[in-house]
Amino acid sequence: MTATHCPYCALQCAMTLTPTLTPTPVTVTVTPREFPTNRGGLCRKGWTSAAVLTAPDRLTAPLVRDADGVLVETTWDHALDVVAERIKALQASYGDDSVAVFGGGGLTNEKAYALGKFARVALRTANVDYNGRFCMSSAAAAVNRSLGVDRGLPFPLTDLGGAGAILLVGSNLADTMPPAVAHLAAARDAGGLLVVDPRRSATAQLGLHLQATPGSDLALVLALTHVVLQEGLADTSYLAARTSGAEALYRSTAAWWPERAERVTGVPAGLIRQAARVLAAAAPVHGGAGAFVLTGRGAEQHSKGTDTVTACINLALALGLPGRVGSGYGSITGQGNGQGGREHGQKADQLPGYRSIADPAARAHVAGVWGVDPSSLPGPGKSAVELVNALGTDGGPRALLVHGSNLLVSAPRLASVRERLASLDLLVVADVVPSETALLADVVFPVTQWAEEDGTMTSLEGRVLRRRAAVAPPGTARSDLAVFAGLAARLGCSASFPVSPEEVFEELRRASAGGVADYSGISWERLDAGEVLYWPVPASGHPGTPRLFADSFGTPSGLARIVAVEHQAVADDLRADAPLYLVTGRLLEHYQSGAQTRRVPELLEAEPEVFAEIHPRVAASLGVADGGLIRLRTARGSLVCPARVTLDVRPDTIFVPFHFLGVNELTNDALDPVSKMPEFKACAVEATAVGRAEVPA
């Protein structure tokens, strides 16, 4: 039996894996373990997670596209040679930045660290980013700007259990992280669970639902803050002692009285006042049990996502929540290693330890660990969408190496993404299954997955956890670490690229030392001994930091910065030929691009295809019954799918789950100017009825 953690979301539920003794093929039984985040529970994805290990189309040997355009099996040496020779030729002709790397938030800390090092040292390219740009970037930008340290939850998840009120803005925990719902019970029982969502999600049904117009979360939060300030509910002593810029908060929210907000958000003014008062009553300043403001992708995946999160932080600061035990602000990290994956060098502007690649001192420190000249390290590169849009263009990258991401499903404006990938001279994908992106590649590397590898992951609360191998990988599948090492050697790189994950972690410790996300005091030995370690852990005897901001914030002054923000409309707003909002989101049964979960029979049977939730009023106007086909058309593309007629969506809104190929044909790649997050969550859409005869066979 092997103690490890679930491969899916950042809740990182604890589980025990028990392989059978039959070797052909080895099957694995999953049993939940008692752990603070999941309390002995698992969701449907966790219970069935072992099925992906034996997926019928599991990649087991390297593939190289032959002269006839067919991917054929080959040896590792040949596949690595092909990639290395083509990289060398492209860089000789077009420069180092002609090769780009795209990582993933599901990679272990060790692989995320090695990917960033490989890009900067072996490839010498500035062009590296990852799919976490689609996930946490707006929250990270806002928290860094306001509080100085980006850790999804700067407190243990279990702190939520004692709260009297929790405001969830754009998060559907009941479907995305079901075991986490247990931590909402006290607030729910107290009548203090407040959920902002344009859809009556499974989570919204548990509490007081503020069913805001898509893209209006910022206006709603400004109105909630207005009520707190104007009704004398704010913690003025806290604002004076622990923040800077409080005057701007009063000015920027003064015009957002609830009646004005009602016209923008659709949430009744009385309900806005009620929610603000419930949240304030639970705050420490009023003797309450504690209050939290939490954000998720629904609020963050917008071209104003950074400002929306900033408004949520401002609301929390007005109530005196951050840094207090039993209260605070946090962002719900999505991907399995969404937290650790963004700390150690996958981001275009970042070095290990959450250091800025533009900081001379950071460059010198990390270059010293890597044994290279600091001047040889490239500067900041392009963010994910900017990088993808540059592929194959004049002066843009001509080769792309993808690890842990399925761009052809997960990126916005897919028609453009498909065109850019097809224009490359070389596309290399490392994956465990033939994902949609892998099927376009020139070379495919079969790599190990969660139960076949050792390493560490960092949960949504900043706790570092051990991932342990329970079974051997199939065929000749290797770790991504072996891919980096094999290519680095063939490219003539003199720097060391260990293939042992523990050895990589030891190097990561040194590289992160002194950084914001300092792992230098964490060791596998401490983790294996059962120590509970939340970063930063700056020394081997340090107990870790489960709660941040108790004494000061991570800003130079130690004070939280209040940044005034203003509401803006959706970038692609409603118009005569597109009179409805399209919003996308997750399902209980699926995860991310669906490359894993759509290969699990039980999950695929439960939700086999994309669909669109529409309000009965919309269905009647289209003449469409439940199950009838509709065509969704935006300025970027169209999609035909069955309609599900439900009162759970607003009359002006259509909801589509994003786990299926084609959904992101519709979404907008307009970027947040600060975080570079694309606006996945809201755009104008036209819906029309489709007859069966109109659908291609």
Stretch 159-164: mean pLDDT: 97
Q: Under DSSP, is residue 548 helix (H, G, I), strand (E, B) or coil? A: coil
Radius of gyration of the chain (CA): 24
* Contact between 254 and 260 (Cβ < 8 Å): no
pLDDT given at position 621: 96
C-alpha to C-alpha distance for 519 and 522, rounded to whole angstroms: 5
> Where does 2-54 sit in CATH, by number?
2.20.25
Query: Torsions phi, psi of 149, nearest 5?
Result: -140, 130
Q: Which helix H or strand E contains 195, and what residues bound it?
A: strand 193-196
Whether 228 shows a pLDDT value over 60: the answer reads yes
Q: Which helix H or strand E contains 4, and what residues bound it?
A: strand 2-5
pLDDT given at position 289: 97
pLDDT given at position 277: 98
Stretch 60-69: mean pLDDT: 97
- List all residues 6 or more positions away from 73 whose beta carbon is below 8 Å from its beta carbon: 61, 62, 63
> What single string gives the DSSP state of each residue in 339-404?
HHHTTTT-STTEETTTEETT-HHHHHHHHHHHTS-GGGS------HHHHHHHTTSTTS-SEEEEES
Same fold, 137-332 and 580-694: no
The string of pLDDT tens digits covering residues 233-283 is: 999 999 999 999 999 999 999 999 999 999 999 999 999 999 999 999 999
* Contact between 316 and 279 (Cβ < 8 Å): no
pLDDT given at position 691: 78
pLDDT given at position 24: 66
Domain ranges of the chain: 2-54, 63-134+348-456+472-507, 137-332, 580-694
Query: Torsions phi, psi of 136, nearest 5?
Result: -105, 5
Stretch 165-187: mean pLDDT: 96
* Contact between 321 and 309 (Cβ < 8 Å): no
Band the pLDDT of 693: cuts 50, 70, 90: very low
C-alpha to C-alpha distance for 273 and 293, rounded to whole angstroms: 16
> What single string gives the DSSP state of each residue in 559-573?
SEEP--------TT-
The pairing of beta strand 683-689 with beta strand 629-633: antiparallel
Whether 71 shows a pLDDT value over 60: the answer reads yes
* Contact between 253 and 229 (Cβ < 8 Å): yes
C-alpha to C-alpha distance for 259 and 246, rounded to whole angstroms: 24
pLDDT given at position 694: 56
The residues pairing with 16 across neighbouring beta strands, listed in sequence order, are 3, 31
Tokens representing 210 are 């503020």
Domain 137-332 has CATH 3.40.228.10: yes
Q: How many CB atoms lie within 10 A of CB 365?
A: 22
* Contact between 191 and 184 (Cβ < 8 Å): no
The string of pLDDT tens digits covering residues 402-432 is: 999 999 999 999 999 999 999 999 999 999 9
CA-closest candidate to residue 397, choices 115, 132, 128, 112: 128
Whether 446 shows a pLDDT value over 60: the answer reads yes
The residues pairing with 644 across neighbouring beta strands, listed in sequence order, are 613
The string of pLDDT tens digits covering residues 487-530 is: 999 999 999 999 999 999 999 999 999 999 999 999 999 999 99
Burial class (CB in 10 A: 0-12, 13-18, 19+), 418: middle
Tokens representing 410 are 């997960």
The pairing of beta strand 291-295 with beta strand 165-169: parallel
Query: Between vectors from CA 177 to CA 175 and to CA 181, what angle results, nearest 5°?
Result: 90
Tokens representing 563 are 């940044």
Band the pLDDT of 333: cuts 50, 70, 90: confident
More confident residue, 163 or 133: 163
pLDDT given at position 199: 97
pLDDT given at position 22: 67
Stretch 602-608: mean pLDDT: 94
Whether 695 shows a pLDDT value over 70: the answer reads no
Residue with tokens 């479907």: 175
Stretch 35-53: mean pLDDT: 95
Residue with tokens 């529970």: 41
Q: What is the pTM of this model?
A: 0.96
In the chain, pLDDT over 90 holds for what percent of residues?
A: 95
pLDDT given at position 23: 64
Stretch 365-389: mean pLDDT: 97
Whether 89 shows a pLDDT value over 50: the answer reads yes
Lowest mean pLDDT among 206-210, 495-499, 610-614, 660-664: 660-664
CATH class of 63-134+348-456+472-507: alpha beta
C-alpha to C-alpha distance for 418 and 431, rounded to whole angstroms: 18
Residues in the chain, total:
697
Band the pLDDT of 697: cuts 50, 70, 90: very low
C-alpha to C-alpha distance for 274 and 280, rounded to whole angstroms: 10
CA-closest candidate to residue 466, choices 480, 478, 454, 481: 454
Stretch 521-545: mean pLDDT: 97
Task: Give domain 580-694's CATH number out of 3.20.20.80, 2.40.40.20, 3.90.78.10, 3.90.650.10.
Answer: 2.40.40.20
